[in-house]
Amino acid sequence: MSTLLILPGLLCDSRMFAAQIDAFPGAVAVDGFYAGCDRIEAMADYALARAPERFALLGHSMGARIALEVIRKAPQRVERIALADTGIHPVKPGEADKRYALRDIGREQGMTALVDAWLPPMVGAAGRGDAALMASLRAMCIDAGQHVFERQIAALLNRPDTDAVLASIRVPAVAIVGDEDQWSPVDQHADMVERIPGAQLRVVEGAGHMAPAEKPQQFNQILREWLDWPAAS
């Protein structure tokens, strides 16, 4: 089985993927919040510098945007790719204002207030009722800090176009999404698989944007099936 390299999303690190790291021997998540990089391209370089020579690549949320940049930069190193709870669209009208509103909460009230405004809508209904899950996610996001949040939203608001790289993918590809994901809904992932030759869509029932942590057994089963798909010729 290929080494599974996991690229976390906004305000996330390996804690988000504890269930995946436990389930897949040798799996590793890129930690360090990308060292405060403020561009997707630099985050991809950061990940590649810490990656094995060849790997199966899982990107979640912002991490999926980074994953596409990784496969653009080093396609020969990526054996297969999974893109979870994410999007491929350019910056939408009003998106910057929403991100800056959260930034300003952090500046004026502190990182805890920012996370308490941002995190609950990212989680599905069942997950929001799981006190241990919410406490773990909340602590992780607070630990990232205001500086990291601001640099990561700068990266997202200056994200590169994905059209060319999506069409170029020739490895087994899957898009995974929670059916309660309000930020990156199912239809975005349906659009994604239409643009990647041979890609497939998988939906995690009862999960929101944080599907890998909310419904780890369902999510891991999808990963197992994807890892078992025949390799690209």
By the 10 Å C-beta count (0-12 exposed, 13-18 middle, 19+ buried), 79 is classed as: middle
The predicted-structure confidence for 43-53, as pLDDT tens digits, reads as follows: 999 999 999 99
**Placement of tokens 């991490």 in the chain:** 63
H/E run at residue 110: none
What is the percent of the chain with per-residue pLDDT over 90, rounded to a whole number? 98
Indicate whether 68 pLDDT > 70. Answer: yes
Confidence at 232, pLDDT banded by 50, 70, 90: confident
* Structure tokens, 64: 């999926």
Could you give all domains of the chain from N- to C-terminal order, each with its CATH number?
1-233 (3.40.50.1820)
| Mean pLDDT of the region 196-209 | 98
- Give one DSSP letter per residue of 62-94, joined into a string: HHHHHHHHHHHH-GGGEEEEEEES-----PPTT
CA distance 208 to 230: 29
Termini Cα distance of the chain: 16
* Structure tokens, 199: 């890609």
* Structure tokens, 30: 């890129």
Confidence at 2, pLDDT banded by 50, 70, 90: confident
Residues facing residue 176 across a β-bridge: 84, 202
